Structure formats: C-alpha cells, structure tokens
Amino acid sequence: MRIAPAVAGTGVVFRRVDLDNFELAANVGSVARVAYATTLMKRGVWISTVEHLLSALYGLGIDNAIVELDNFEVPILDGSALAFAEAIQRVGSRELDSPRNYIRITKSFMLEENGKSIAIHPAETFSIEYHIDFAHPLIGNQNIEIELTPKNYAQFVAPARTFGFYHEVEALQANGLIRGGSLTNAIVLTETGMLNETSLRFPDEFVRHKTLDLLGDFALIGAPVLGRIAANRAGHALHTRFVAALLDSTDHWNFSMDTEASVSITAL
C-alpha cells in the first residue's frame, strides 16, 4: 500500500494499481459489506478492511489522499491504526489553496436498533462518547469520551487493537474473513482471558478500538464534522447506516466553510 497526495476536493480515493488504476471513492455509497470489517465496492471491484486506515486519515485531519493498493485488502498490520498514524505524522501533510468545508450539526439526530444506538448533537468541536458492554471479565462496561484532535487521536485512539473471540475464529475464516488474523494483529479473547502474551495497551483498550472503528466508518461522510457523537453498543453495520441516514437528513446539518485550508498528505 502507498498513500499519495491529492488535490483539494478529491477526498480519500482508493486506487487498485493491479487493476489498471481502477479508482473507488471512500464514501458511504460505496459500502458493500460490514461483517466484522467495512468493505467498499464499485462495479465489482472491492476494497476490504478500510476502517483503520480511514480512521487514521480522518483522525489526523487529512482531507485528501490517494490510497494505492495492489490487492483487495488494506493491510491489517497490528490490528490498530498506530502504524498508519505514525507514518502519516512522519511524512507530514500540507495545506492546499482551498478552504475546508465542514458539516456542522444544527439539530440532534439519532438512530436506534435492537438496543444499540448512535446519536450526534450540535457542538463547536468534534468529539465521541462510546459505551460498550460485553459479558467478559476483561471488558464488562467501558465508556470513553474524547475530543478528536490529531494529538488526542494519535495518543489515545490509534494504538487500540481490534479484538475478537477465539470461538469465532474458525467461522470467520471459513467465510473468507480475517485470513491473515493472528495474535500479532488482534486481541484474541478466551472465555476468561486472552491468548495474547502481551498486555493490554490501555485498561479500556476495547472501547477505544470501537471508537477507532466508528471514526473510520464515520469518515465515509466525506467531510470534517462539527458535532458530538454518542454511541452505545454499536458496530460497523450501525455506524455506516448512521452515516447514510445522517446525510439524507439534511435538516439536521449544513455546510460551513472555514478559513482553515483543506489538507493533503505528502507522499508516503
């Protein structure tokens, strides 16, 4: 994978260099599957496991980038967005000669489904509150509330790794998912603990990773947002449905042009 600069107004675009540079825009209209990861598809060409990379780009304030891939899956790396965030910070970004357009939430909006919910409320900054509840001794009830600045994202969200349960692994791999899954790129939970020999990066690493995933899916909205998100026991399917429903609910938000410049990544 390689990330290249893009001009203002491009957004994030995936480019399959193995398929004559076929391009697929990272927007909610391209969502094809949300089983344990988010997959985008256009005209039969798909890009899998996009959420961690999109989370890093959105969390670090990158508006425009071309992501070049020679296969259908974004590398999982260690199961977090840490390597992406560190690489982006290392090469830096540049301001473009174009103002940044924000989506400003003007009226609260909520989506609920089977005891799960996501809401967004008006605010002058962008923040996420996330609550999860798993009947597992390492998780239980966890809650986090964080204002999403690039510094906060890199320090408190990006390092959180994906997690799953050992009894689900065989079924997932039989369905073509987590093909490269291992203890090096996920926290694998048993009934009473975890298989990994390394310790958790945060006591509440699980809810931090859910926040990471939500941000990656929310990036499919296509613009920076001013608002406060409150999520309860959600997941990829509800995340992406929420983005689509919010975009359709145009009486809950408006576009706000800022004097701050749009941003592109430098070559990575």
Give the tens place of pLDDT for each residue, 47-58: 999 999 999 999
Domain that holds residue 131: 2-265
- For the CA atoms of 258, 91, 163, 59, the dihedral, rounded to the nearest 10 degrees, stands at -10
Amino acid at residue number 193:
G
Amino acid at residue number 15:
R
Amino acid at residue number 64:
N
- Residue from 52, 209, 236, 252 carrying the catalytic annotation: 236
236 is catalytic: yes
Q: How many domains does the chain have?
A: 1
- CA–CA dist 91, 263 (Å, integer): 13
pLDDT at residue 169 in the model: 67
Residue in the block written with tokens 């070049």:
68
106-133 b/e with 16+ CB inside 10 Å = b?
eeebebeeeeebbbbeeeeebbbbbbbe
Mean pLDDT, the chain, integer? 93
Name the pTM for this structure. Answer: 0.93
Q: Do residues 243 and 138 lie in contact, with contact meaning Cβ atoms separated by under 8 Å?
A: no
| CATH assignment of the domain containing 182 | 3.30.1700.10
Q: What is the pLDDT of residues 90-127, one digit of tens each?
A: 999 999 999 999 999 999 999 999 999 999 999 999 99
In order of 7, 80, 171, the CA distances from 175 in angstroms are 38, 22, 6
